[in-house]
Structure 1
Amino acid sequence: MVSAFRRHQMRVRALQSGAAQPDTAPAAAPERALDTPLGQEYAALRVALHDNLRSLSDIASIEARNPVKIEMARTFAPWIEGVLQAGEEGQAAQDEILVWNLVWAIDYRDWEYALRLAAHAIRFNLASPERYNRTVACFVAEDIAKLSLDQQEAVPHDVLCRVLSLIEGHDMPDPAKAKLHKALARSFARRADAFDPAADNAPAGGKAAYLAEALDHARRAHQLDSSIGVKSDIRSLEKALRKLGPDEAGGGAGEDEADTE
């Protein structure tokens, strides 16, 4: 178990290590110098991280790995808090520890923590682990979207919306972004299906507002990748909006229809 003093020391050193770097956004964050006390702290934690990764590779069950990742993440939490604090002050360096903890947080579905780490990693263009062969923005968009599409209750609706905001303006292959729009289309459609007009958070446009959002995202997904598999979604959403009538449709059904042939 890490002592309170050690946790404090890790956080402070991470903050100092980040503060020693210039604000490099939107260029890639620089590598940390490892020949300083701060760099040596980072290097020691990287050794622990790689030991953890080897231990995880020995666990065959993906489900069984997640509780282990939660325990491992606690070791690195003080360092990461210091890194995030430095980031809030506009300073960052490349940090493999933070990025791997982002991957783990998605795996064990601590969405608030995952999005905090993602925001920092995307802002400062931190590199993904080599095995992922994608930018952090692409990885976050694609993997969270895929999880939502495979297990519709796994990713809260607001998380998908926040991911879309996080990746705005970041380059990635069109099919990757299409997956996120497809996931959002289906999430908005589920909200339309469950719509309760008496709910405090009901949108001003009623059920039609959810359907129109779903249709917009489905059309965008189709525009980005015509093989993404949303043609039937578009047809059913257009039909549902037409059934609501022109006064309730909010204009969503009147837009040019996507090519659904």
Structure 2
Amino acid sequence: MALSLAQRTQQRKRAAAAAAATPQNQPMAGSGAYELQMAQLHQHYQQLKGIQSGQGKEELKAKLLPDYAPYVAGVLASGQGAQDEVLTTVMVWRFDAGDYQGGLEIAAYVLEHGLTMPDRFARTTGCLVAEEVAEAALKALKAGGTFDISVLAEADRLTAGEDMPDEVRAKLMLAMGRVAAAQVDPDKPNPADVHSLEVARHFLTRALELHAKCGGKRDLELVDRQLKKHVGQSD
């Protein structure tokens, strides 16, 4: 049953108080606000286990996420960096549900305070954030859709100092390059095309430097050809 506005406000305040009282790197376990959320998380895990479809799981997570919004808001507002399985799980669920801005909002806090991912996640936090966003962008483009390059840029900024395999960083660079290139319509040239193509070339080149087999070689060749065409037109 959905909580009333008053109940959501109280939930946020309790979460903020608990987060403010728990020192960095110490577990939130023991806090009443946290334990309630963990109990809810366990119930939701059982629901998710009953669904085999990946898309079905994503749709259910999107429906469940509002239940955690007051808690997350309270922790982000007042938290000192305590270890928090609810927070890191909700971050991943937001990515899974397509709420990339919401996921990155939590990621900023998680990375700033060095929170670790629960044991069931094999990747480090920085690696997970970079790869989740990159794969979402590449998947969207492959399906003929679009992706907000500012989301990729924010993921890159947040994870710039994080250690991860070169292949993962290359995947993020590849995604940024492809999204920038996709902003150019060959049939409707405009002055902004050159900038978009130069941005695309920068990130595609970086992707190939990090991982020669990242799949960006042909993309870079196409971008270079388009840039030469634009230069020829401006002469």
The answer (yes or no) to whether the contact 1:189–1:214 under 8 Å persists in 2 is yes
| TM-score of the aligned structures, taking structure 1 as reference length | 0.80
2:22 aligned partner: 21
1:245 aligned partner: 231
1:21, distance to aligned residue in structure 2 (A): 3.4
Equivalent position SS for 1:132: coil
1:54 aligned partner: 46
The answer (yes or no) to whether the contact 1:208–1:248 under 8 Å persists in 2 is no
Q: Any gaps of 5 or more consecutive residues in structure 2?
A: none
Q: Which is further off, 7-16 or 221-230?
A: 7-16
1:157, distance to aligned residue in structure 2 (A): 1.8
The answer (yes or no) to whether the contact 1:144–1:155 under 8 Å persists in 2 is no
2:36 aligned partner: 44
2:117 aligned partner: 128
* 1:207-234: CA deviation from partner (whole Å, max 9, x where unpaired): 1111111011011001111111111122
CA distance in 1 between counterparts of 2:52 and 2:146 reads 22
CA distance in 2 between counterparts of 1:245 and 1:55 reads 57
Find out whether 1:209 has 2:195 as its counterpart: yes
2:213 aligned partner: 227
CA RMSD of aligned residues (A): 2.2
Q: 1:191 aligns with which of 183, 190, 195?
A: 183
Q: What residue identity is the alignment partner of 1:80?
A: V
Q: How many residues align?
A: 230
Q: 2:134 aligns with which of 136, 145, 157?
A: 145
Q: 2:204 aligns with which of 218, 225, 240?
A: 218
Equivalent position SS for 1:193: coil
Q: Any gaps of 5 or more consecutive residues in structure 1?
A: 198-204, 250-261
1:129, distance to aligned residue in structure 2 (A): 3.0
CA distance in 2 between counterparts of 1:72 and 1:172 reads 30
Q: 1:113 aligns with which of 98, 102, 105?
A: 102
1:254 aligned partner: none
1:200 aligned partner: none
Of all paired residues, the percent bearing the same amino acid is 32
The answer (yes or no) to whether the contact 1:86–1:92 under 8 Å persists in 2 is no
1:66 aligned partner: 58
| TM-score of the aligned structures, taking structure 2 as reference length | 0.89
Runs of 4+ in 1 over 4 A off after TM superposition: 246-249
* 1:48-68: CA deviation from partner (whole Å, max 9, x where unpaired): 102211210111112222332
